Structure 1
């Protein structure tokens, strides 16, 4: 599991470390890695943004079967976000227009036959 230190809070344009539910936003969600491989970077940015915000994992890696809790600032109002994950080997996958106000968990899986990373959204 990722340590408490590694839990991140996303503000509109910056990623901040958070400790406690006082910062909880409607967009909070959990990322579960069931790909079979480590994820080196995870980026979450407002939808239709032309660039990615900072890596929310920081210096950590999200190993297979681990999860990461993403917490937004309570004042954040945006619901639509894009997410990008990058594997150790540099391969990546992107999901656009995720309505994080309606999502509580994203489980990532990699299909060996197709080479595609999919996201099961709850």
Structure 2
């Protein structure tokens, strides 16, 4: 029985460690490390124009919080534009032509010295 239980645990661990083939390569975790709350997080394809955006947030994304963004089968391509709007400011940050298939996380950061927002891809 001890060997059966050990084998069962080993099989369970190997299944848990196996990659999920149903996961879309564009799905990404967005981590807010800017020091400010984000009220809008949008992705659109470069051919969609700058007026077509959907907010991926159900609520404000506070500093040090994260959200997981899933793409559906209707979405095509790896390259997307990313837009962020701040909760207490009327400014928008836009990154164009970001290849989401190359990483699984975007860490959004703000440099107060240069007053620029950037992201680190992981």
Q: Which TM-score band (shorter chain)?
A: 0.7 to 0.9
Superposition TM-score, scaled by structure 2 size: 0.74
User: Aligned residue for 1:43?
Assistant: 42
User: 2:96 aligns to what?
Assistant: 96
Offset at residue 91 of structure 1 (A): 1.5
User: Runs of 4 or more off by more than 2 Å in structure 1?
Assistant: 21-24, 74-77
Match of 2:9 in 1: none
Gaps of 5+ in 2: 1-19
Deviation at residue 75 of structure 1 after TM alignment: 5.8
TM normalised by structure 1 equals 0.74
Task: In structure 1, list runs of 5 or more residues that go unmatched.
Answer: 1-20
Number of equivalenced pairs = 101
What is the alpha-carbon root mean square deviation over aligned residues? 1.9
Partner of 2:63: 64
Aligned to 1:8: none
Instruction: Report the Cα offset of residue 86 of structure 1.
Output: 0.6
